[in-house]
Chains A and B, each alone.
Chain A
Amino acid sequence: MIDSIFSIFEYDFMFRALVTGVALCACASVIGVSLVLKHYSMMGDGLSHVGFGALCFSVVLNASALYVSIPIVLTCAFLLLNLPGKTKIQKDSIIAVMSTAALASGVMIISVTEGINTDICNYLFGSILSLTDEDMYICLISSVLILLIFFMFFRNFFSVGFDMTFAKVQGVNVKLFNTILALMSALVIVLGMKMMGALLISNIIVVPAICAMMIFKSYKAVVFHSLIASMLCFLIGLVLSFELSTPTGASIVLINMLSLLIHFLLKLLLNR
C-alpha cells in the first residue's frame, strides 16, 4: 500500500504538488500561529480576495499573475496590520471592506473585459495540474526564506505577539516585525492561491494553529505541532484527492477539518 502511495509521486504534476504543498503548508502553519494569536484569522481570507482581484487585473494586462499579485497583496497586508492602530476602525471591519472591494473589483474587471475563464476558476478553487516548475521553485525558495526568518527571530515573534508594549520597551522594532509578518502572510497567500484556491487558502493558515492551541500550552509546542499537523494533513489530502479523483484544495481543507475534530475530542479527553 505504501508503495502505491509513493508511486503516485512519480507523476510530474504530483511531485510538483507535493513539493509546493509541503513547503507552503510548513510556512503557512507557522505564520498562522502569529495571525491567530493577533486575532487576524480572517486576514488570510481577506488577502486571498485581494489576490483574486489582483489576479483578474493581471489577466487583463496579460501579465504574470504572480508578479502582479505579490505587490498588490503585500501592500494590502501592510495596510491591514497598520490601519487599525492609526484609525479607529476595527481590524475585522477593515478586512471586510478590503476583501469585498477587491472581489467586486476583480469581478467587474473580468466581466467588462475577458469574461470568466479557466484560469480564473483555477485560482478561485485551486488546481494542482496548473502548477509549473517555476511555481514550484518560487514556492520552495520563498518557503525556506519565510521559515528561516521566523525561526531566526523566534523569540521576537513571541515577544511581539505576547506583549507588544514590553517588546517596544525592550528595544524590539515592533513595527518592523509586524511588517515582516504582513509580507510573509501576503507571500503565502499569493503562492498558495494556485494550488489551494483563493477561497480555501486561509484554511491551511488558520486551522493547524487552532488545532495545536487546543492541546498545547507552550508557544514552542504550538508552533512545532502546527507545522507537523499542517504537512501531514496536506499529504493525506493530496493522496486521497488523487485516489478518489476529488478536488485537491477541497480535500486538504476537509482533512484539516477532520484534524480539528480529532484535536477537539483529544482536548475533551485530556480535560477529564
Chain B
Amino acid sequence: MNTILNVKNLSVTFDAQKVVQDVSFALKKGEYLALVGPNGAGKSTLLKTIINDNRKFVGSFSFCSDIKLGYVAQKNSDDIYFPATVKEVIKSGFKQNFFSFRLNRQEKEFFQSVVSELNLSSLLKKSFYSLSGGQKRAVLIARALCTGSDLLILDEPASGLDNIASSRLYESIRTVKNRFNTAIIMVGHDINRLCSEADLILCLEHTVKFIGKSTDFIKTPIYKELVEHLV
C-alpha cells in the first residue's frame, strides 16, 4: 500500500460557515493532484487544514508514518526588511541540528541537485527579496524539497505571475515530480495546464464536484464551466 495521504469526510467551519464539506480522497506516492475550483471554494482552507494550520474540522485526515511535508504558501511575506540570501532560504529547509551552520556532505549533495534542477545556481548569493515573483516561488519550492518532502503542498504558486514565469514554474514542478518522485497537491486556476500536467483533478466548490483522472475531468460540464469563466 503506497497511499501517503488519506482524507475522510473532512469538513471545515470558518466563522460559522462550512467552507469545506465532506471531502474525501486518497493520494498515492508520486501522484500529482490538482485542486481546482472557483474563488472562495475552500481550496486553501482544505490545504491549511491538512498542514495543521487550521484546527476546527470534523472528519479525519492521516498521513503515512514518517512522512515529510513541504509547503509553499499562497502569499509570501512582503516584508522587505528580512535579510536572507537565496542560499539561506533554501538551506532552512533542511532538518535543524544543534549549531547547524553548515550542511553535511549528504545535505550538500541534495542541495546541489535541487538547485541545479531548478536553475537557481546563479541566484544563491542574491537577496531573496530582490528576486522576481517567479524566482521566489522556485526558491520556496527548492526549500520545500530540501525537507526531503514526500509530499509537496503548493497553494496557488503561480498566483500573480505572468504567462512566461507561470510556464517556467509549472516546468519546475514537473521536473521536481519526475526527478524526486515527490507527490504533489497543487491549487491552481490554469485549468488546461493542470489537466495536462496532473494525474488527478479534485474540483472543489465547498463540496467535491469531481475527483478522478484529468482525462475524465475535461469531459465534464464543470470543466467547461470553469474554462468558460477564464475566457
Contact = CB atoms under 8 A, between A and B. Distances in A.
Interface of A: 36-37, 151-156, 158-159, 161-163, 165-166, 168-170, 172, 213, 216-222
B100 to A, nearest CB: 5
B96 to A, nearest CB: 5
A154 B84 contact: no
Nearest to A37: B82
A219 B129 CA distance: 13
Nearest to B95: A170
Contacts of B83: 213, 216-219, 221-222
Contacts of B79: 37
A159 B147 CA distance: 12
Nearest to B147: A170
B222 interface: no
Interface residues of B, number: 30
23 contacts: A37-B81, A152-B98, A152-B99, A154-B100, A155-B91, A155-B94, A155-B96, A158-B84, A158-B88, A162-B82, A162-B89, A163-B77, A166-B71, A166-B144, A168-B51, A168-B52, A170-B147, A218-B84, A218-B85, A219-B82, A219-B85, A220-B88, A221-B83
A166 B82 CA distance: 16
B66 to A, nearest CB: 11
A166 B94 CA distance: 12
Interface of B: 51-53, 69-71, 73, 77, 79, 81-85, 88-89, 91-94, 96, 98-101, 127, 143-144, 147, 153
Nearest to B85: A218
B85 A217 contact: yes
Contact of A218 (B88, B94, B99): B88
B84 A219 contact: yes
A190 B101 CA distance: 30
Main secondary structure on A side of the interface with B: helix
A29 to B, nearest CB: 14
Contacts of A37: 79, 81-82
B99 A154 contact: yes
A180 to B, nearest CB: 14
B73 A165 contact: yes
A221 B83 CA distance: 9
B100 A155 contact: yes
A163 B51 CA distance: 14
A220 B91 CA distance: 12
Contacts of A159: 92, 96
Contacts of B84: 158, 162, 217-219
Contact of A169 (B71, B100, B101): B71
Contacts of A172: 96
Contacts of B85: 217-219
Given A170-B69, A217-B83, A222-B83, 19 more contacts: A37-B79, A37-B81, A37-B82, A151-B99, A153-B98, A154-B100, A155-B94, A155-B96, A158-B88, A159-B92, A161-B82, A163-B73, A165-B53, A168-B53, A169-B53, A169-B69, A169-B153, A213-B81, A217-B85
A209 to B, nearest CB: 10
Nearest to A164: B77
Contacts of A217: 83-85, 127
Of B51, B82, B93, B144, the most chain A CB neighbours within 10 A belong to B82
A111 B96 CA distance: 51
A192 B215 CA distance: 67
Contacts of A166: 71, 73, 143-144
A261 B85 CA distance: 25
A15 B98 CA distance: 33
Contacts of B81: 36-37, 213
Contacts of B91: 155
A29 B156 CA distance: 38
Nearest to B100: A155
Contacts of A222: 83
Contacts of B52: 168-169
Contacts of A216: 83
A155 B103 CA distance: 11
B92 A220 contact: no
A160 to B, nearest CB: 10
